[in-house]
Amino acid sequence: MKRNLVLGAAATLLTLGVIGTAGAQVYDPLEPMNRVIFNVNDMLDRNVVRPVAQAYVSVVPRLVRTGVSNVFGNVSDAFSAINNLLQGKKEPFGSDLGRVLVNSTFGLGGIFDIAAEANIEKYNEDFGQTLGWWGLGAGPYLVLPILGRSNVRDATGLVAHGLIDPVYQVTPTVNEYELVVLRALDTRAGLLGTDDLVQGAALDKYTFIRSAYTQRRRSLVYDGKPPKDDDN
């Protein structure tokens, strides 16, 4: 039942994404709702998430944090490999697969990023990028509760990801929520350096982040070579 619901939601999102625009322009018909969620997220971040991430950085030694990052990175490399395969990108697929194999074995389950030392390139493909590569437009900009900036296409990708992500699968020994929280913490800690930058640069944080996200995702879909924006 839960699965059907999720699939139904994914199908709805996909349809919305198809209707949405494909270009470089920001498309934000849900802005009033997005801004409300953005403000709640921002408040949560300032009062809870950011302080916890700062504490994590100051309490946990760098070596351990790097190990945690590497383990989650190893999982996401596996997904990146799958997505490269789905996009028919052979060499990147081989590279990401090679990373997973090397790091899972010699890197002791991904704790050490041996593949980086060996200069095996990391591609960071995800389902949102795959949908974009297949020609699906980004659709309306979305701010998701807690997860933050997204768009209909990327949110659809997230749902697809969530269905098979091992971190969400309950195992008898590890509580899935602890893993999910740890991964979120790891991600947030990695972004601490950009907080002051955005704060300093943005006239309006919401608009600034929306524009940066839209540009960034478009660039990723086109592997760093997006076609020229014809509006300029």
Q: Residue numbers of the site for another protein (CB under 8 A)?
A: 24, 26, 66, 122, 124, 193, 196-197, 200-204, 207-208, 210-212, 215-216, 218-220, 224, 226, 229, 232
* C-beta closer to another protein: residue 54 or 215: 215
* C-beta closer to another protein: residue 13 or 132: 132
CB 204, min distance to another protein, A: 6
* C-beta closer to another protein: residue 1 or 203: 203
CB 178, min distance to another protein, A: 25
* C-beta closer to another protein: residue 178 or 204: 204
CB 174, min distance to another protein, A: 27
Could you give the CA distance from residue 58 to residue 51 in angstroms, rounded to a whole number? Answer: 10
CB 115, min distance to another protein, A: 13
